Amino acid sequence: MTDLTQRKVGWIGAGRMGLAMATRLARAGCNLVVYNRTRAKAEPLAQHGARIADALADLRDCDIVFAIVSTSSDLEGVLVGPGGLVAGAGRGPRIVVDCTSISLEASAKLRAALAERGVEFLAAPVSGNAKVVKAGKLSFVASGPRHTFDEVEPYLLRMCQGASYVGEGELSRIVKICHNVFLGVVTQSLAEITVLAQKAGVPRHAFLDFMNKSVLGSVFSRYKTPAMVNLDFAVTFTPHLLRKDLDLGLDAGRRFEVPMPLASLARDMVQALIGNGHAEKDFAALLLLEARAAGIELEPENVPVSDGLS
Ligand SMILES: NC(=O)c1ccc[n+]([C@@H]2O[C@H](COP(=O)([O-])OP(=O)(O)OC[C@H]3O[C@@H](n4cnc5c(N)ncnc54)[C@H](OP(=O)(O)O)[C@@H]3O)[C@@H](O)[C@H]2O)c1
């Protein structure tokens, strides 16, 4: 197994995903230095041996820097914006690995800007929420130079159950966008059928118990079951971030001339979720919107149900 102390590794972004992912690397003994805009959110990593940086410039002498922030423009800011990782003169890291969900266009632009500085870029977005990361079930999809993937793979494997290399350039971005379009569509569909079953008289826990045991059950339907049964909508992924991904999917559909009617509807349901005041809840709150539209008020069932992760 690769010695993770050989290279100095930087980490940008200690939000929900970044904190959970960097925690796994730090616990694996990686030589890690972490920057987060809001420093306090990165501080829990110190107990696992990571150093907390005050500025992005403190990560410039790293061999590899991982980033996971919110949107394309946030990523551009931390990497090539004023005061960013490779801003100004002097050397930057050898490799940047980005795990943010961003557009193909933004990714290509960043790859070119980093290449001008001699920095290799691996696009490596992820599937799974922070609890999935903690359970060791995260997945990466990566694209960029094969040799860069090979060098970074041992680090990826400390954070996930599998890393798929899909080719050169920005190919992993479209894979991730497709994945999250499916996430939005599936969640809206799950909300619709759960409300339908309930309105017809079936308790949600009984309905989802069957669905989870059926051929259509999945890791995802299982880990969203506690939220749907007991109405705990503590955020794992925000409606704003899901809307961003559905918009990226619709933009890509236009660019490649692929009709995406279900994605379009799901996007507007997520917009309605935000407009109805649920922006601070988990995106699974699509269930609440659906129930309201069906003319029923949901109550927590207060039934202990497994999320399939813990
Ligand atoms: N949550 C999920 O289930 C999930 C799953 C797969 C992929 N993703 C993707 O992963 C990315 C992060 O998601 P998340 O749920 O971890 O989001 P989050 O909890 O909102 O964290 C966002 C992170 O980005 C930083 N950030 C945002 N804008 C910034 C800026 N302009 N400059 C510097 N730092 C900035 C935040 O810093 P502060 O702490 O200072 O705000 C924070 O560390 C998104 O692209 C999302 O689509 C999320």
The SS3 call for residue 207 is helix
Q: What residue ranges in the chain does DSSP mark as E strands? A: 8-12, 31-35, 51-52, 64-67, 95-98, 120-123, 126-127, 139-143, 162-167
Residue 273, pLDDT > 90, answer yes
Ligand 1 atom nearest residue 71's Cα: 45
Tens-digit pLDDT profile for residues 246-262: 999 999 999 999 999 99
Q: How far does residue 66's CA lie from ligand 1's centre (Å)?
A: 13
The pLDDT of residue 91 is 79
The pLDDT of residue 228 is 98
Average pLDDT of the segment spanning 39-61: 97
Spatial CA neighbour of 293 closest among 221, 157, 191, 222: 191
Distance in angstroms (rounded) separating the CA atoms of residues 67 and 79 = 9
Residue 88, pLDDT > 90, answer no
Q: How far does residue 99's CA lie from ligand 1's centre (Å)?
A: 10
Spatial CA neighbour of 140 closest among 108, 175, 114, 186: 175
Average pLDDT of the segment spanning 73-102: 93
Q: How far does residue 77's CA lie from ligand 1's centre (Å)?
A: 13
Ligand 1 atom nearest residue 102's Cα: 45
Distance in angstroms (rounded) separating the CA atoms of residues 94 and 64 = 6
Beta-bridge partners for 123: 98, 143
Distance in angstroms (rounded) separating the CA atoms of residues 109 and 78 = 14
Residue 291, pLDDT > 90, answer yes
For ligand 1, atom 35: residue with the closest CA:
69
Token readout for 115 is 């290449």
Burial of 185 (0-12, 13-18, 19+ CB in 10 A): buried
Give Cβ neighbours of residue 157 (< 8 Å, ≥ 6 apart). Answer: 163
pLDDT confidence bin for 4, thresholds 50/70/90: confident
Counting ligand 1 atoms within 8 A of each CB, the residue from 11, 12, 17 with the most, and so the one to mutate, is: 17
Give Cβ neighbours of residue 9 (< 8 Å, ≥ 6 apart). Answer: 25, 30, 31, 32, 33, 62, 63, 64, 65, 66, 155
The pLDDT of residue 90 is 73
**Contact (CB, 8 A) for 100 and 75:** yes
Distance in angstroms (rounded) separating the CA atoms of residues 229 and 57 = 46
The pLDDT of residue 157 is 97
Residue 2, pLDDT > 90, answer no
**Contact (CB, 8 A) for 22 and 53:** no
- Pocket residues for ligand 1 (CB within 6 Å)? 13-18, 36-38, 41, 68-70, 74, 77-78, 100-101, 126, 129, 236-237, 241
Average pLDDT of the segment spanning 262-267: 98
